[in-house]
Structure 1
Amino acid sequence: MTFKLESLKSNKGARKPKLRKGRGISAGQGASCGFGMRGQKSRSGRPTRPGFEGGQMPLYRRVPKLKHFPLINPKSFTIINVSALNDLKEGTVVNLDSLVKAGIVTSPKNPLKVLGNGNLKVKLTVQASSFTKSAQQKIEAAGGSCESF
């Protein structure tokens, strides 16, 4: 059997007739129409606009907008550019400890991240927690290797 658009029907009991409110006591929703006796929500028209909280400062106005949300767990790195690695000897293993001994990094509080600003002319094995794509390309173009942990 093939289905056609004109042959589709909703399930039995899925579509109930609309309640005719305010049309007498026998209709089931006469007089106050199920809205109670008095008050803001019983008046004609839409009772309140969306987000209205009875005069209290609504949630959409209480929360900060757009910028300046504080990051809960920000990632921070000790960053270094590829151009700073040109002073090292060829073939050395570069990590956070060796950079501190060489005096290139002064405050090694966070994991090392290598950025790709500048050019690299020395073949090095660089060990860092992360690399930018350009830094990785420049290290590998110079004949070195990138090891992330």
Structure 2
Amino acid sequence: MKLHDLQPSDGSRPSRKRVGRGIGSGFGKTAGRGHKGQKSRAGGYHKVGFEGGQMPLYRRLPKRGFRSSLLATNAEVTIGMIDSLSYTEIDVATLQREGLVRRNAKVVKVIMSGTTTKRLHFRGIAASAAVRILVESFGGTFQ
């Protein structure tokens, strides 16, 4: 096969519709646009969602809610969950490996629910004030 032998598959490139070429073509006179009206005219159309002057649906319905795209990359874990792990050095990768946070989590915060008696060392993880006090009371650190 050579470059000049290449051609598209049969039927994959239909020939364009030639309009306004007489009655026998089926697209003569009005050229497939019907009779009169805004859609039949050159440049005559309306914006998406236009309902002929009636208040459009997207304006009739109330605005409701907002969901931040940052929520997908933020995660929370409880101190009780972390206490159940066998690790003392905790970072985001460790929590992802153990399945406590999602794979796409970038920001992780430890919240106070449960308790711990371990000496935990957190790297790159935020914590609530109560968790910080608890962890530091057992000699743990936050970096």
TM-score under structure 1 length normalisation: 0.44
Larger Rg: 1
TM-score under structure 2 length normalisation: 0.46
